């Protein structure tokens, strides 16, 4: 059974703190302690993993308190970081404009074992792995445990590139948390790329581990290392694979992106525009793992395939792994769509049938609707048996279906759709026949006379927009304004936009359920 265990050296950290602060910490529960914060003129803070903050005592931090701490630790490096030799604790300084230290952040370092059990099978494959995730989700912790696993259990030559001494701690002797792995310190952050190459050229590693790849030069160094046959385990700036693809500085880590112009025949075959984005080269990393939180990991077992799918706007096949200390085997779930509920799978083997995958998901479409009844669209999708769904996010959409009242422009969301180069299909009314017709046109579905179609009808949105059109037609020289029927906020917004398209002005008046539009007539001399 996998067991998650924590090891820390809090006693060594407490020894460098002012006595009045150390006394306050003696009887406190600190298993979930993340940081201690000392800012001049403020109460000392304890920050916990759940986001809560406690204050220590009632005495404000003084210059003598900050001086007491800085006097007992190593000198700060150019990135304003220091530490306590033999520990994983990191102390970072905040300076004023004259360079004087006026604040300290003491980040608690711990050795945590058992966090990589759910991805151990991936590590054992010997492929290069890239971790993505926000601050505080455990990226460095996993690197430390992987270093120990590969060096101690697999008996491989491992070199840790420790830029800020976060992985193996401060001091010249590496923390035992990395096991038998060797550690190379980096004099300053801008030298990380040089130390990475130096490690490969001088120390014959089988595995390189590096935290926070953040520059184009470091990305190039990573590719050089991978091309020399060295297994690379690293983290990078970014929360998701899709964000990394869009990052021009780091996209090379996953193969890079290149704009390609297709022939007319090829564009028609793919059902795409002539200019498309394609992966430029083989990815540096074979596997990408998104760390969503401390218990949930999203795995892309084939980065090349995942990047290709993302660029072609196909759903991506992923594995969702759970960290569970009570599970005798890793928990793994597979999904081919971010909107699908993952299907449970206890197997550790990842099987992939490319032809079947393409058949299953390549025609999947996400539809953004505007001024269209969601219920009608959902029923039309079901009736036509389409591999599609409605999305609320325009940046996820493949197509847009909107009411024809907005075809002449004026709606910001439709302008956004055009910026995304999304095809827009218009319907004359909120009716099943109209929506089905638009879906058939958008998805290249041949007509089926046998398919039952409901009779046309108008919903509240359609009636409200028609009321606007009728009112505008009635605005003559002698009419100052026309008030419409009360509507909810969403419908009033659509009415306002339709009025704007006719170069008129409107305002919402009334309160509660009586709130409604008032259309002003600027042609009347008494208005404006």
User: What is the SS3 assignment for 209?
Assistant: strand
Distances (CA, A) of 104 to 81, 137, 184: 10, 22, 26
Q: Which CATH class is domain 5-111?
A: alpha beta
Residue ranges per domain, the chain? 5-111, 114-360, 363-442, 460-520
Is the model's pTM score more than 0.75?
no
Distances (CA, A) of 345 to 123, 320, 333, 334, 351: 20, 10, 5, 7, 11
The distance from CA 234 to its chain's CA centroid, rounded to whole angstroms, is 18
User: 5-111 and 363-442 share one CATH topology?
Assistant: no
Low-confidence ranges of the chain (pLDDT < 50): 1, 328, 337-361, 449-457
Taking only the tens place, the pLDDT of each residue in 295-307 is: 889 999 999 989 9
The pLDDT, as a whole number, for residue 269 is 63
The pLDDT, as a whole number, for residue 524 is 53
The pLDDT, as a whole number, for residue 349 is 36
Average pLDDT of the chain is 83
HEC-encoded secondary structure of 261-314: ECCHHHHHHHCCCCEEEEECCCCCCCEEEEECCCCEEEEECCHHHHHHHHHCCC
The pLDDT, as a whole number, for residue 353 is 46
The pLDDT, as a whole number, for residue 193 is 95
The pLDDT, as a whole number, for residue 469 is 86
CB 248 within 8 A of CB 274: no
Q: Tell me the backbone φ, ψ of residue 63, rounded to 5 degrees.
A: -60, -35
Residues above pLDDT 90, as percent of the chain: 36
- CATH number (3.40.50.300, 3.90.105.10, 3.30.470.20, 2.40.370.10) of 114-360 reads 3.40.50.300
Q: Which CATH class is domain 460-520?
A: alpha beta
Distances (CA, A) of 75 to 22, 167, 485: 22, 19, 72
From the list 183, 214, 19, the residue with the least C-alpha distance to 88 is: 183
- Tell me which fold the domain 363-442 belongs to: Rossmann fold (3.40.50)
Alpha-carbon distance of 293 to 301, in angstroms, equals 19
Alpha-carbon distance of 252 to 250, in angstroms, equals 5
Alpha-carbon distance of 99 to 346, in angstroms, equals 56
Residues above pLDDT 70, as percent of the chain: 84
CB 495 within 8 A of CB 525: no
Distances (CA, A) of 273 to 256, 265, 313: 20, 11, 12
The pLDDT, as a whole number, for residue 446 is 61
Angle at CA 463, nearest 5°, toward 457 and 465? Answer: 130
């Amino acid at each position: 059974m996998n067991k998650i265990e924590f090891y820390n050296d809090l006693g060594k950290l407490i020894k460098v703190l002012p006595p009045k602060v150390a006394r306050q910490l003696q009887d406190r529960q600190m298993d979930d302690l993340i940081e201690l914060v000392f800012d001049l003129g403020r109460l000392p803070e304890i920050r916990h993993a759940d986001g809560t903050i406690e204050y220590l005592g009632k005495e404000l931090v003084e210059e003598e308190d900050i001086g007491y701490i800085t006097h007992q630790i190593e000198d700060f490096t150019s990135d304003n970081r220091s530490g306590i030799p033999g520990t994983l604790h990191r102390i970072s300084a905040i300076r004023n404009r004259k360079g004087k230290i006026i604040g300290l952040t003491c980040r608690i370092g711990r050795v945590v074992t058992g966090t990589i059990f759910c991805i151990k099978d991936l590590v054992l494959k010997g492929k290069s792995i890239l971790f993505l995730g926000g601050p505080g989700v455990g990226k460095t912790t996993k690197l430390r445990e992987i270093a120990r696993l590969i060096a101690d259990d697999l008996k491989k030559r491992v070199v840790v590139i420790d830029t800020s001494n976060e992985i193996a701690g401060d001091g010249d002797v590496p923390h035992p948390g990395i096991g038998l792995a060797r550690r190379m310190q980096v004099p300053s952050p801008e030298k990380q790329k040089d130390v990475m190459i130096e490690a490969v050229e001088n120390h014959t590693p089988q595995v390189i581990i590096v935290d926070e790849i953040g520059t184009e030069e470091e990305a190039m160094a990573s590719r050089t290392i991978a091309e020399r046959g060295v297994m690379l385990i690293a983290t990078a700036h970014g929360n998701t694979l899709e964000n990394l693809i869009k990052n021009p500085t780091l996209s090379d880590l996953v193969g890079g992106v290149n704009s390609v112009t297709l022939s007319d025949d090829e564009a028609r075959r793919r059902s795409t525009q002539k200019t498309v984005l394609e992966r430029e080269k083989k990815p540096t990393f074979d596997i990408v793992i998104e760390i969503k939180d401390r218990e949930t990991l999203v795995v892309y077992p084939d980065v090349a395939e995942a990047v290709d799918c993302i660029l072609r706007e196909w759903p991506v096949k992923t594995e969702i792994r759970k960290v569970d200390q009570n599970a005798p085997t890793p928990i793994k779930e597979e999904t081919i769509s971010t909107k699908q509920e993952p299907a449970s799978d206890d197997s550790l083997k990842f099987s992939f049938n490319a032809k079947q995958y393409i058949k299953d998901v390549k025609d999947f479409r996400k539809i953004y609707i505007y001024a269209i009844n969601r219920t009608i669209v959902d029923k039309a999708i079901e009736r036509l048996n389409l591999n599609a769904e409605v999305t609320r996010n325009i940046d996820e959409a493949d197509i847009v279906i909107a009411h024809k009242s907005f075809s002449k422009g004026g709606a910001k969301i439709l302008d956004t759709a055009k910026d995304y180069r999304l095809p827009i299909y218009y319907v004359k009314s909120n009716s099943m026949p109209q929506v089905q017709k638009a879906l058939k046109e958008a998805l290249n579905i041949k007509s089926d006379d046998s398919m039952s179609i409901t009779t046309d009808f108008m919903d509240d949105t359609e009636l409200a927009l028609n009321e606007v059109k009728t009112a505008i037609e009635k605005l003559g020289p002698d009419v100052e304004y026309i008030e419409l029927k009360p509507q909810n906020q969403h419908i009033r917004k659509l009415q306002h936009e339709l009025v704007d398209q006719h170069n008129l002005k409107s305002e919402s008046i009334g309160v509660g359920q009586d709130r409604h539009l008032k259309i002003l007539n600027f042609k009347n001399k008494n208005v404006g």
